[in-house]
Structure 1
Amino acid sequence: MTTPDGSGATLTGLTLAGRAGHWDLTHREGRITALRPSASSGGGFVMPPLADIHVHLDKTFTAERMPHRAASLFDAIDMMSADAETWTEADLRQRARSGLARAAAHGTRLMRSHVDWHKAAPPLAWHVLRELAQDWGDRIELQLASLTPLDALQDIGPAVAQTLQAEGGVMGAFVYRNDDLPAKLATVFDLAERHGLDLDFHVDEGLDPEAQGIDAIIAETARRGMAGRVLCGHGCALSVRDAAEVQRLLDRAASAGVGLTVLPGANSYLQDASAGRTPRLRGLAPLQEARHAGVPVMLGSDNVRDGFFPYGDYDLWDLYRLAVLTGHLDPETWLDAISATPARWMGRDLSLREGGPASFIRIAASGPADAVSRASAAREIWQDGRRMPGIQGEHA
């Protein structure tokens, strides 16, 4: 409705994420001009836009090209590596653009995509995604992170770091039971310090208790005082390690200022996979224990319709529903894991506040628990005071 004094459009009787009671939200010229307690109700549930800190736009929408269902993480890596040999600029652009369009239509405003990087020179996908970041900046702010096997970074790391510094990227590495791990990580941290880079690791993505790369990363982060600049994704091996040992590790992670990204989609799909057998172990990192210890915990979409995970639609809210169910999370108190916390980690603020952008998600539900319970509840995406169109077509 429009207020009688002409101050702008007002949505009434809203349930706002993180606030008790009901609220009226008034916006004008793309900004929130007032948030006031409301005597009305039934206006729907409103939360900030979404921040998806861990995706793979270079690999996305390739599932139909895979020769078989991945039998393991490393089987998926092999299949995707073979498919990458066929990637062209047009192919990459079409697939990544589809991913961005779907994410925007579902309410994502910030995104970080990892990009496979195996040689000194930037891969084709890096160039394509940098151009798309410029093209899509008015709808999604896209950050890019390199993704290189830790061993390979010992050789090509300086060239990668120089490009990342020049082009505003994040340095990433795949870490899993590497030999001489502390020394190799020290090289990566040296590069990050020398070039002013943040770090984002894929670490311990398996069910071997001996996979303890995250321990070394936490120790190195603490030694160098790099709190708030080092993020660890996956951490599946933490789910099968001794609970007391993990608790001590999480306490050290909190003290060091290391963040944790949990990826329930692809991890639940790939871990403990065996044909004709129901998985017993799902590889879900201990997100409740991590948050209790004081570790910033985030959730990400990870792989979408590729060799690692043949499902998904860049719908971080749907991923949140999965995390609530698999992680036994309270839907009222974990919303920051898909919005405020990853946004802060990416240097942005998506909070709903007077004077801030009139950008938010409105779901036809009475609150987070109701919205999680009803997957088909109508969802509106508002950006700068305008209601945005939904997905159009197969490859929107």
Structure 2
Amino acid sequence: MRDQGSAALEGVRIAGREGHWRLEVAGARLSLAPSQATGGGLVLPLMADAHVHLDKTFTVDRMPGRPSTLFEAIEMMGRDAEGWTEADLRARAGAGLERAFAHGTGAMRSHVDWTAPKAPLAWGVLNELAQDWRGRVELQLASLSPLDLLAEAGEGIARRVARDGGVLGAFVYRNARLPEKLGRVFDLAERHGLSLDFHVDEGLEPEAQGIDAIVAETALRGFGGRVLCGHGCALSVRPEDDVRAVLDRAGAAGLALTVLPTTNMWLQDNRPGLTPRLRGLAPFKEARAAGVEVLFASDNVRDAFYPHGDYDMADVLRATVLGAQLDPADWLGAVTTDAARWCGAVHAIEDGGLADFIWHDASDPDDLVSRPRAARQVWRGGQPLQGATS
């Protein structure tokens, strides 16, 4: 019931808490109390999407075809980027933020392609959007440069990223002189006080072992809690003993892993006319067991890399549960509280906390995953979003 800015949800389950609860909203704050009632639905913190590409999004309809490999997608996307304008970027990225907000995402990290020493147009546009969206979706930006470029011309890039409060990122895949180049990137991060986010080993060649070098450098520099690695697909095809060893070192070093289920399951082992045998998912259950924090994220949405998606983290969770045979209750933090922390945000449902949450017409996380069309209502600042119930 609601009355003059107050509301109460009775008999709800709250993610991460046992039992059932009365969740009362008064103004923009929450109060929690145990409840004897049941059947009130499931409440989750706001979602966080720690790895997206807002500069590329919603371009699939102007692609000349659908690539079947990562490097075909990179080439096709690069040709499209030649025609990007400020208005085009603002419209497409803004549409992505609108959809994410409506679905209950409160924080996001977007990578921005940075392929020359000069800052790309998209970096400026997305920084402006980050200001526009503050208080609704906290948008954090990460530069995404080829490792070779960052190693040679990274000083200016790192200086600009630091000025804008961003994260320094690189694409790492079977580079020559890898430890040396990574050392330069970590030097930049140390000099400018930056965290790091790598696209690493995004393929199914066992020889791709960039993550080993990143783990070693993270441990050497004491960069625990400041290094996020996305993809790690090649770990899925490396010998088990090698995988176990590198994951143990990663856990000890304090490195985290972002799993991108939709894009990786779409592009990896994508051979026209053949059913994929390999999923391209990093062994993230084993990573968590080794002490590595694991996040799930949308990655690409409606572009050359992945032609589907809608910036809905409930869909991403659903895809990961199916693709990796998960118990969803064990992994909610990967799309909510843990992911938010890596985006520089705090998402929690606490007595006296902010009344920002998502209510689902679901009895538990299994029910949430099983019924994608069940009602959902996003609450921000103590009010349900108009049009946010699905």
TM-score (norm 1): 0.96
* 1:225 corresponds to which of 192, 200, 222: 222
Residues in 1 aligned to 2:106 and 2:349: alpha-carbon distance in whole angstroms: 13
* 1:379 corresponds to which of 376, 380, 385: 376
Q: How does 1:328-339 map to 2 (within 5 A)?
A: 328-339=325-336
| Deviation string, structure 1 residues 320-364 (Cα, Å, up to 9, x no partner) | 000011111111111000011111223322010012110001110
Residues in 1 aligned to 2:68 and 2:367: alpha-carbon distance in whole angstroms: 36
Matched with 1:126 is: 123
Q: Is 2:56 the partner of 1:46?
A: no
Q: Is 2:206 the partner of 1:209?
A: yes
- Give secondary structure in 1 for the equivalent of 2:24: strand
Aligned partner letter, 2:182? L
Q: Is the 8 Å Cα contact of residues 287 and 327 (structure 1) preserved in structure 2?
A: no
Q: How does 1:153-168 map to 2 (within 5 A)?
A: 153-168=150-165
| Deviation string, structure 1 residues 151-178 (Cα, Å, up to 9, x no partner) | 1112220000000111101000000000
Residues in 2 aligned to 1:390 and 1:2: alpha-carbon distance in whole angstroms: 18
* 1:23 corresponds to which of 21, 29, 32: 21
Residues in 2 aligned to 1:387 and 1:251: alpha-carbon distance in whole angstroms: 43
Residues in 1 aligned to 2:123 and 2:345: alpha-carbon distance in whole angstroms: 22
| Deviation string, structure 1 residues 95-122 (Cα, Å, up to 9, x no partner) | 0000000000011000000000012221
| Deviation string, structure 1 residues 208-233 (Cα, Å, up to 9, x no partner) | 00000000000000000010000000
Q: Return 5+ residue gaps in structure 2 as ranges.
A: none
Q: Is the 8 Å Cα contact of residues 102 and 391 (structure 1) preserved in structure 2?
A: no
Matched with 2:350 is: 353
Matched with 1:253 is: 250
Matched residues, percent identical? Answer: 60
Residues in 2 aligned to 1:361 and 1:179: alpha-carbon distance in whole angstroms: 46
Aligned partner letter, 1:74? F
- Give secondary structure in 2 for the equivalent of 1:343: helix
- Give secondary structure in 1 for the equivalent of 2:295: strand
Q: Is 2:73 the partner of 1:76?
A: yes
* 1:266 corresponds to which of 258, 263, 266: 263
* Alpha-carbon offset, residue 31 of structure 1: 1.0
Q: How does 1:156-195 map to 2 (within 5 A)?
A: 156-195=153-192
Residues in 2 aligned to 1:136 and 1:172: alpha-carbon distance in whole angstroms: 23
Mean alpha-carbon deviation: is it higher for 185-194 or for 20-29? 20-29
Q: Is the 8 Å Cα contact of residues 378 and 388 (structure 2) preserved in structure 1?
A: no
Q: Is the 8 Å Cα contact of residues 202 and 234 (structure 1) preserved in structure 2?
A: yes
Matched with 2:64 is: 67
Aligned partner letter, 2:244? Q
Q: Is the 8 Å Cα contact of residues 143 and 169 (structure 2) preserved in structure 1?
A: yes
* 2:316 corresponds to which of 314, 319, 329: 319
| Deviation string, structure 1 residues 18-62 (Cα, Å, up to 9, x no partner) | 111110011212111x21110111111000000100000000000
TM-score (norm 2): 0.98
Aligned partner letter, 1:304? V
RMSD, matched Cα: 1.3
Mean alpha-carbon deviation: is it higher for 215-224 or for 355-364? 355-364
Matched with 1:281 is: 278
Residues in 2 aligned to 1:267 and 1:346: alpha-carbon distance in whole angstroms: 21
Residues in 1 aligned to 2:242 and 2:184: alpha-carbon distance in whole angstroms: 27
* Alpha-carbon offset, residue 196 of structure 1: 0.2
Mean alpha-carbon deviation: is it higher for 343-352 or for 229-238? 343-352
- Give secondary structure in 1 for the equivalent of 2:247: helix
Q: Is the 8 Å Cα contact of residues 377 and 388 (structure 2) preserved in structure 1?
A: no
* Alpha-carbon offset, residue 85 of structure 1: 0.1
Matched with 1:140 is: 137
